[in-house]
Structure 1
Amino acid sequence: MVVDLVVIGTAITLGPLHNSAFILLLASHRGVRKGLAFLLSWLINLVVVVACIVLLTGGTPPVHHSTPSTAAVAAKLAIGVGLVLFSGYRHRRPPRPFRPPSWTGRVDNASLGTAAALAWLLQPWALVGAGAATVVDADLSSLSDWFALTGYCLLATLSLLVMEMYTVWVPVGAQARLNSLRTWLEHHQDQLIVTLSLLAGLWLMGSSIYALVT
Structure 2
Amino acid sequence: MGEAIGQVLSFGVGVALSPMPIIAVVLMLATPRGARNGPAFLLGWVAGLGIVGTIILLVSSGASASDDGAPATWTSILKLVLGLALLALAVKQWRGRPHGDDAATLPKWMATIDAFTPGRSVAMGFALSAINPKNLILTAGAAAAIASTGATTGDQAVALAVFIVVGTLGPGAPVAIFFLMGERAHAILDGLKAWLAKENTVIMAVLCLIIGAKLIGDAISGLAA
TM-score category, normalised to shorter length: 0.7 to 0.9
Distance apart, 1:69 and its partner CA = 2.7
- CA 1:58–1:32 in structure 2 vs 1: closer, same or farther (change >3 Å)? farther
- CA 1:75–1:23 in structure 2 vs 1: closer, same or farther (change >3 Å)? same
- Contact 1:59–1:139 (CA under 8 A) maintained in structure 2: no
Q: Cα deviation per residue 1:101-122 (whole Å; 9 max; x = unaligned)?
A: 2212211111111111111222
Q: Which residue of 1 aligns with 2:125?
A: 119
Distance apart, 1:140 and its partner CA = 5.3
Q: Structure 2: how far apart are the matches of 1:10 and 1:212? A: 26
Distance apart, 1:165 and its partner CA = 1.8
3-state SS in 1 of match to 2:148: coil
Aligned length, in residue pairs: 213
Q: Structure 1: how far apart are the matches of 2:74 and 2:64? A: 16
One of 63, 66, 77 as aligned partner of 1:62:
66
Structure 1, 54-63 or 183-192: larger mean CA deviation: 54-63
Q: Which residue of 2 aligns with 1:186?
A: 197
Q: Structure 1: how far apart are the matches of 2:175 and 2:156? A: 28
Q: Which residue of 1 aligns with 2:92?
A: 89
Structure 1, 10-19 or 115-124: larger mean CA deviation: 115-124
Q: Which residue of 1 aligns with 2:132?
A: none
List runs of 5+ in structure 1 lacking aligned partners.
none
Q: Which residue of 2 aligns with 1:42?
A: 45
- Contact 1:8–1:130 (CA under 8 A) maintained in structure 2: yes
- Percent identical: 26
Structure 1, 8-17 or 101-110: larger mean CA deviation: 101-110
| Structure 2 residue 108 is the aligned partner of structure 1 residue 105 | no
Q: Structure 2: how far apart are the matches of 1:78 and 1:210? A: 14
Distance apart, 1:59 and its partner CA = 11
Q: 1:190 is matched by which residue type in structure 2? A: T
Q: Which residue of 1 aligns with 2:5?
A: 2
RMSD of the TM alignment (CA)?
A: 2.5
Distance apart, 1:129 and its partner CA = 2.1
Q: Which residue of 2 aligns with 1:171?
A: 182
Q: Cα deviation per residue 1:107-165 (whole Å; 9 max; x = unaligned)?
A: 11111111111112222222222223223225553765443222111000012222212
- CA 1:103–1:63 in structure 2 vs 1: closer, same or farther (change >3 Å)? same
| Structure 2 residue 38 is the aligned partner of structure 1 residue 27 | no
Distance apart, 1:168 and its partner CA = 1.1
- Contact 2:54–2:143 (CA under 8 A) maintained in structure 1: no
Q: Structure 2: how far apart are the matches of 1:192 and 1:176? A: 22
Q: Structure 2: how far apart are the matches of 1:36 and 1:132? A: 25
